[in-house]
Amino acid sequence: MRTQTTNYVARLFAGDLSAFGGPATDEAMAGHLRAEQMSLVLGYSVGIMLANACNAIVLAIALWPSPDRIAALIWAGAVAGAAIAFGLHSRAVRRITKPQFVSRRAMHRLVRNAFILGAAWGIVPVAFFADASTGGQLVITCLCSGMLAGGALAFATIPIAAIAFTAPIFLGIAICLGRNGDLAFLLIAFLVVAYGSVLLRGVFVNSFSFARRVTRQVEAERTVRQDPLTHLPNRVAFNETLDAALKRLALSGEEFAVLLLDLDRFKEVNDQFGHPAGDEFLVQVAGRLQRCTRAAEHVARIGGDEFALVMANLTRPEDALEIAERLVAAFDEPLRIDGRQIVGATSVGIVLAPRDGDTPLDLMKNADAALYRAKKAGPGTICFFEEVDDRASRDRKALQSDLAGAIARNELFLVFQPFLDLDDHRITGFEALLRWQHPSRGLVPPNEFIPIAEETGLIHEIGEWVIRRACATVALWPEEIRVAVNFSAAQFHNTAILQTIVRAIADARIAPHRLEIEITESMLLSKYGSAASVLNALLELGITVALDDFGTGFSSLTYLRKLPFSRIKIDQSFIRDMLAQPDCAAIVKSVVSLARDLDIGVVAEGVETADQLEYLRQIGCDEVQGYLISRPVAADGVMALLETKRVRMTYAA
Ligand code: C2E
Ligand code: MG
Ligand code: MG
């Protein structure tokens, strides 16, 4: 009960409107509201203090003929002096930027000062009225009424301060007029009280609507600056923090660091466990990350799985490293989501300002480049920005813009690598592999430019070109030869892909079964959920689908059962080590027998030696692909390869 009362009194004197039945707010909002209230009062402060000083002087003049002149003079001197000093002080305070948060204690001080000033005026009628001339009494009445009205106006948003200021004046007037006993004076007292009540009511109405307006505005600003999922600051808020840090750097040379984080494997989590689990993952990660930072700093979520932190007032780069290490260590414990344990990780790129840049653009570009290197080095890596990152990122950017025009400039072409059937020793088809002949860099490998195409969305245009070109090419080959085309996950997220494929087949006038689509396991776990439906539609059209690089991703055998694949392609890493490492051999062997049981074809990728080929033949693998049979050849080399009896002769049993 006592604590409740103390709390109420604290709220009351802090200008909190809920103490008067106004809207209740949390402390952050209340602090912001106090800042707005205080700023309004400070805005009036020079006027208020000038009015006080002038009124005090007027009063001293009016009371000059009275016997209290000395006391009145001392009083006026004290009030005018205090008013001028306070006015000058608050002008100086206002020049500094407006605070976002004002403490309860600061508001207590304001209420106290309002009371002291009100009391100073409240003394006037009590001390000087009785002995003043009629003119002097008129002046006192006018001045006190004026101070009441002025006080109510100045504290129009803070009822408690308005009360603290006006109550002593009311009291003073009431005492002095009541003491007199004259009916006219009693009427004046009545009028002052009536006007005063109207004024105070006005103060309450105004302050409540002011509080509601500010609260709405703050909430609107909060939503603009807050990520709705994790409740962390969003990119807008982060940019503002970064701008503020840059301003402080320019003004006072205060150095700072920016830490950029990208969750490793988040996409896989999202894909494997679904969107709600992915969201929950992000929420938990956000909580953990925020606990690693210094009290006043906030990790912001600036993208799907990208987080960033501005570390202000950095004295040593080691401090940034220490926080980065804490952020990485936040993933030591797996996250518990829906009763499952999910392991997460993050990579961190760090830039130091001004060393690595002094504009938001430069800093973020360089942080991105450092993060890129960190991600390449593996989960949980922390990298400070270095000059090499800059070069690498410029290189990537250049490649990106070159790639945009590569199709138009005719720089892309396909090469074809055969599949050899081990039963009847003949070539059954070719895999189309994309090549980019860059005008100055020469041949750029697909592993370098396909990820760029995926990042920029160019993959859709390029993918369409590949499928059309592959279909047109296979149309020139014998009827029994198929062509396999690689697809990126990103391409499957575009539902127009089906039409593209159907049109390519129709335009090339080929039977659908001659086209095979190669997809990787990760595509089956697509967060867009369209992979399965697109796959089924393809299969209905008679197009076959092969599971590429089998064994390298989130291999889930259930997919093999659920989705009708025509073929599995065992990844070349298993084939390479198969003869040296028994566990690889065991995997290859069991995949081959699994495929046979499920009645699915199986291709071994990357066959380079005759021993490998022999082993695969023994365990019953259907087809092989690799440098031993042929390297990828240009389109016009395909017919020659098909006609070469050498292929058959060399590998005939
Ligand atoms: P992939 O689909 O697994 O293609 C097989 C890769 O292994 C090809 O590399 C091929 O040249 C290489 N290879 C074949 N036989 C051997 C061998 O005996 N030894 C070794 N060490 N390597 C062998 P490439 O052409 O560099 O392609 C790399 C990857 O780029 C492909 O892997 C595929 O994922 C992607 N890719 C290629 N063309 C396209 C395309 O048109 N679209 C998409 N989305 N991805 C493509
Ligand atoms: Mg492939
Ligand atoms: Mg492959």
Give DSSP secondary structure letters for 134-152.
Answer: HHHHHHHHHHHHHHHHHHH
Residues in a beta bridge with 414 = 434
CB-ligand 1 contact for 451 (6 Å cutoff) = no
H and E: helices and strands count for the chain: 25, 17
Return the percentage of the chain with pLDDT > 90, whole number.
48
Does the pLDDT of residue 645 top 60, yes or no? no
- Burial environment of residue 443 by CB neighbours within 10 A (0 to 12, 13 to 18, 19 or more): exposed
Residue 506 or 150, more confident? 506
Cα(603) to centroid(ligand 3), Å: 10
Angle between helix axes 69-95 and 27-62 (nearest 10 degrees) is 150
Contacts of 292 (CB under 8 A, 6+ apart): 299, 323, 326, 327, 329, 330
Pocket test for ligand 1, best of 433, 571, 616 (most atoms within 8 A of CB): 433
Is residue 527 over pLDDT 50? no
Question: Residue range 286-310: average pLDDT?
Answer: 90
Q: Is the Cα torsion angle 205, 11, 168, 114 positive or negative in sign?
A: negative
* Span 387-406, average pLDDT: 86
**Ligand 1 center from residue 447 Cα (angstroms):** 8
Per residue in 173-204, pLDDT (tens digit) is 888 887 877 888 888 878 888 888 888 889 98
- What is d(CA 324, CA 209) in angstroms, rounded to the nearest whole number? 45
Unique residue bearing structure tokens 């990042």: 455
Taking Cα atoms as reference points, which of 555, 580, 578 lies closest to residue 568?
Answer: 555
Output the CA 15–ligand 2 centroid distance in Å. Answer: 70
Is the pLDDT at 653 greater than 50, yes or no?
A: no
CA 208 to ligand 1 centroid distance, Å:
69
3-state secondary structure of 285: helix
Residue 529 has pLDDT above 60, yes or no: no
Between residues 175 and 623, the one the model is more confident about: 623
**59, 76 contact by CB (below 8 A):** yes
pLDDT at res. 505: 96
Which residue ranges make up each domain of the chain?
Answer: 2-224, 235-385, 416-427+453-652
Residue nearest to atom 22 of ligand 1 (CA): 606
β-strands 412-421, 426-438 pairing: antiparallel
Directed axis angle between helix 387-404 and helix 446-456, to 10°? 80
pLDDT for 164 equals 93
Q: 39-48, 301-310, 400-409: which has the minimum mean pLDDT?
A: 39-48
Report, in this order, helix, strand and coil percent for the chain, each rounded to 5: 60, 15, 25
Does residue 229 have a pLDDT over 90? yes
Determine what percent of the chain is predicted with pLDDT higher than 70.
95
Of all protein residues, whose CA lies closest to atom 35 belonging to ligand 1? Answer: 446
Q: Is the CB of 418 under 6 A from ligand 1?
A: no
- pLDDT by residue (tens digit) across 569-609? 999 999 999 999 888 899 899 999 989 988 999 999 999 99
User: Rounded CA gap, 429 and 652, in Å?
Assistant: 18
The Cα–Cα gap between 111 and 37 comes to 12
- Determine the length of the chain: 653
Q: How far is the CA of 385 from the centre of ligand 3 (A)?
A: 34
Cα end-to-end span (Å), the chain: 97
- Reduced to 3 states (helix: H, G, I; strand: E, B; else coil), residue 500 is helix
> What pLDDT shows up at residue 558?
67
Question: What is the pLDDT at residue 652?
Answer: 45
Whether omega for the bond prior to residue 354 falls within 30 degrees of 0, making it cis, is yes
Q: Residue 19: pLDDT above 80? A: no
Query: Band of the pLDDT at 504, cuts 50, 70, 90?
Result: very high
Predicted confidence at residue 16, as pLDDT, reads 77
Query: Residue 429 Cα, ligand 3 centroid: separation in angstroms?
Result: 15
Q: Is residue 366 within 6 Å of ligand 1 at its C-beta?
A: no
Determine the pLDDT at residue 97.
Answer: 58
Residue 96 has pLDDT above 70, yes or no: no
630 lines ligand 1 (CB under 6 A): no
Separation CA 256–CA 52 (nearest Å): 47
What is the band of 98 on the pLDDT scale with cuts at 50, 70, 90?
low
On the question of pLDDT at 75 being above 70, the answer is yes
Q: Which residues of 133-172 are buried (b: 16+ CB within 10 A; e: fewer)?
A: eeebbebbbebbbebbebbbbbbbbbbbbbbbbbbbbbeb
Distance 443 CA to ligand 1 centre (A): 14
Question: Which pLDDT tens digit goes with each residue over 321-369?
Answer: 999 999 999 999 999 988 888 888 999 999 999 999 999 999 999 999 9
The model's confidence at residue 553, banded by pLDDT at 50, 70 and 90, is low
Residue nearest to atom 17 of ligand 1 (CA): 606
What is the mean pLDDT of the segment spanning 138-144? 90
Ligand approaching nearest to the C-alpha of 490: 1
Atom 27 of ligand 1: nearest residue by CA position? 446
548 lines ligand 1 (CB under 6 A): yes
The pLDDT value given to residue 648: 52
Q: Assess whether pLDDT exceeds 70 at residue 299.
A: yes
Is there an atom of ligand 1 within 6 Å of 520 CB? no
For residue 537, pLDDT beyond 90: no
Helix (H, G, I), strand (E, B) or coil at 637: helix
Instruction: For the chain, give the mean pLDDT.
Output: 87
Please give the pLDDT value at position 241: 93
Mean pLDDT of 51-77: 90
- CATH topology (fold) of 416-427+453-652: TIM Barrel (3.20.20)
Helix (H) or strand (E) segment spanning residue 306: strand 306-311
**Which atom of ligand 1 is nearest to 415's Cα?**
25
Q: Ligand 1: which residue has its CA nearest to atom 23?
A: 606
- Report whether pLDDT(131) > 80: yes
Q: Which residues pair with 342 in a beta bridge?
A: 335
> What tokens appear for 529 in the block?
């959920």
Tell me: pLDDT of 533 over 70.
yes
Q: Angle 503-506-508 (CA atoms, 0-180°, nearest 5)?
A: 105
Q: Is 233 in the pocket of ligand 1 (CB under 6 A)?
A: no
- Could you give the residue ranges of the DSSP H alpha helices within 155-234? 159-180, 183-225
pLDDT in tens, 235-292: 999 999 999 999 999 998 999 999 999 998 788 788 778 888 899 999 999 999 999 8
What strands, in cross-sheet order, belong to the sheet with 300-301?
A: 300-301, 306-311, 256-264, 345-353, 382-384
Helical H segments across 599-633, by residue range: 610-619
Give residue 486 CA to ligand 2 midpoint distance, Å: 5
pLDDT-derived band at 411, boundaries 50, 70, 90:
very high
pLDDT value for 598: 87
Which fold, 235-385? Alpha-Beta Plaits (3.30.70)
Q: 632 C-alpha vs ligand 3 centroid, how far in Å?
A: 13
Residue 638 in this model has a pLDDT that exceeds 70: yes
Q: Which residue out of 473, 486, 493, 518 has the highest number of ligand 1 atoms within 8 Å of its CB and is therefore the one to mutate?
A: 486
